[in-house]
Amino acid sequence: MVVRGDVYDRNCPTRVIANHATGQWGSLVLGKLLDDGGGTKRFSELRREVSGISEKMLAQTLQALERDGLVHREVHPVIPPRVDYSLTALGTHAAKQISELFGWIEENLPSFMAAQDEYDARRAEKV
Amino acid sequence: MVVRGDVYDRNCPTRVIANHATGQWGSLVLGKLLDDGGGTKRFSELRREVSGISEKMLAQTLQALERDGLVHREVHPVIPPRVDYSLTALGTHAAKQISELFGWIEENLPSFMAAQDEYDARRAEKV
DNA sequence: CAGTATCCTTGGAGATACTG
DNA sequence: CAGTATCTCCAAGGATACTG
């Protein structure tokens, strides 16, 4: 159907943006910014709250999200430096969708774990 | 708030499943299976339709999705081999959410491209 | 504090060839 | 056809140290 921007077509910008928004770090950063209820978060807050992310990946992730127009970056010219990150309108919409999906996965975690157990059991008996 | 299953906590099963479902290949495979309107798709169909995926990654992706209970795998004992993939109830729900998000990105592609252009322009003039 | 810069390692991912 | 096995390589990503 759609040809321009079709996410199933490689080398399509849609796919790149989708990967930023749904990637392992991008999705979590968007989620955390949404949790704040449209407020702002600082670099170090995100670093702490998104468990496992390194400084490098956080910086890189935020840059990609900012470039895509999902995140707004506000620099305060003070010492020590202070930079606030927040969601744009686009980012808020994306974050809501992702957050919903993640919430649904959490809610259904028992079903997922059961599926995994069953899969593993089936594989075990075939050996 | 939530501790067990919290996606923001590393080493949490939720995050692993989320990554399978929203990862660059997983998301596209789920999307393609949904496009088929609850029908089935064969390995080679998916290979063709998800532009850029290799056999290895498709096999690996399908296995992860099957293990998580998102995809059902039906083997027909015929020659030549025939294997049908379809969405489970869980998979259908996940696929719908992802598909919606991707559709929204496609629709708003102009906004994203504009944001990127603006970002690049701002960076260029600062040099 | 909010990043860069650097180095280094792991494994994600492709290509190819083979099998039931 | 639907995979698996193997080899290979590049880039994603982590750790550390440094700077405005």
For residue B110, pLDDT over 70 is answered with yes
Residue whose entry in the numeric block shows the structure tokens 């994203």? B112
B16 CB within 8 Å of a chain A CB = no
* Other Cβ atoms within 10 Å of A118 Cβ, number: 12
Domain-located, residue A65: yes
Q: How confident is the model at residue A123 (pLDDT cuts 50, 70, 90)?
A: confident
Interface of B with A in 67-86 (CB under 8 A): 67-69
pLDDT in tens, A57-67: 999 999 999 99
Report the percent of chain B where pLDDT is more than 90. Answer: 80
For residue B4, pLDDT over 70 is answered with no
Q: How confident is the model at residue A76 (pLDDT cuts 50, 70, 90)?
A: very high
pLDDT in tens, A91-119: 999 999 999 999 999 999 999 999 999 99
C-alpha distance from B80 to closest chain A C-alpha (Å): 22
Q: How confident is the model at residue A1 (pLDDT cuts 50, 70, 90)?
A: very low
Domain-located, residue B122: yes
Domains in chain A: how many in total?
Answer: 1
Q: Are strands A71-76 and B71-76 parallel, antiparallel or unpaired?
A: unpaired
Among candidates B14, B8, B18, which has minimal Cα distance to A106? B14
Domain-located, residue B19: yes
CATH of the domain at B76: 1.10.10.10
CB within 8 A of A45, min separation 6: which ones? Answer: none
The confidence score (pLDDT) of residue B125 equals: 75
What's the CA gap between A35 and A25, in Å, rounded?
A: 15
Coil, strand or helix: which one is B122? helix
- In total, the C-beta contacts within 8 angstroms joining chain A to chain B are 145
| CB-based contact B101 A28, cutoff 8 Å | no
Residue A25 approaches strand D within 7 Å at CB: yes
What's the CA gap between B25 and A93, in Å, rounded?
A: 23
Which domain, by its residues, includes B44?
Answer: 13-126
Domain-located, residue A108: yes
The confidence score (pLDDT) of residue A126 equals: 60
Domain-located, residue A35: yes
The confidence score (pLDDT) of residue A3 equals: 44
Task: Tell me what the pLDDT averaged over chain B comes to.
Answer: 91
What's the CA gap between A13 and B97, in Å, rounded?
A: 20
A3 CB within 8 Å of a chain B CB = no
Please tell me the pTM assigned to this model: 0.93
Q: What is the 3-state secondary structure (H, E, C) of A5-63?
A: CCCCCCCCHHHHHHHHHHCCCHHHHHHHHHHCCCCCEEHHHHHHHCCCCCHHHHHHHHH
Among B1, B3, B7, the strongest candidate for a mutation testing the A interface, having the largest count of A CBs within 10 A, is: B7
Domain-located, residue A6: no
User: Could you tell me if B58 and B25 are in contact, meaning their C-beta atoms sit under 8 angstroms apart?
Assistant: yes
The confidence score (pLDDT) of residue B99 equals: 96
pLDDT in tens, B45-78: 999 999 999 999 999 999 999 999 999 999 998 9
pLDDT in tens, A19-65: 999 999 999 999 999 987 778 999 999 999 999 999 999 999 999 99
> Does the N-terminal peptide bond of residue B80 adopt cis geometry, omega within 30 degrees of 0?
yes
Q: Straight-line distance from CA A69 to C1' D6, in Å?
A: 43
The confidence score (pLDDT) of residue B1 equals: 45
Q: Name the nucleotide with the smallest C1'–CA separation from A58.
A: C3
Domain-located, residue A84: yes
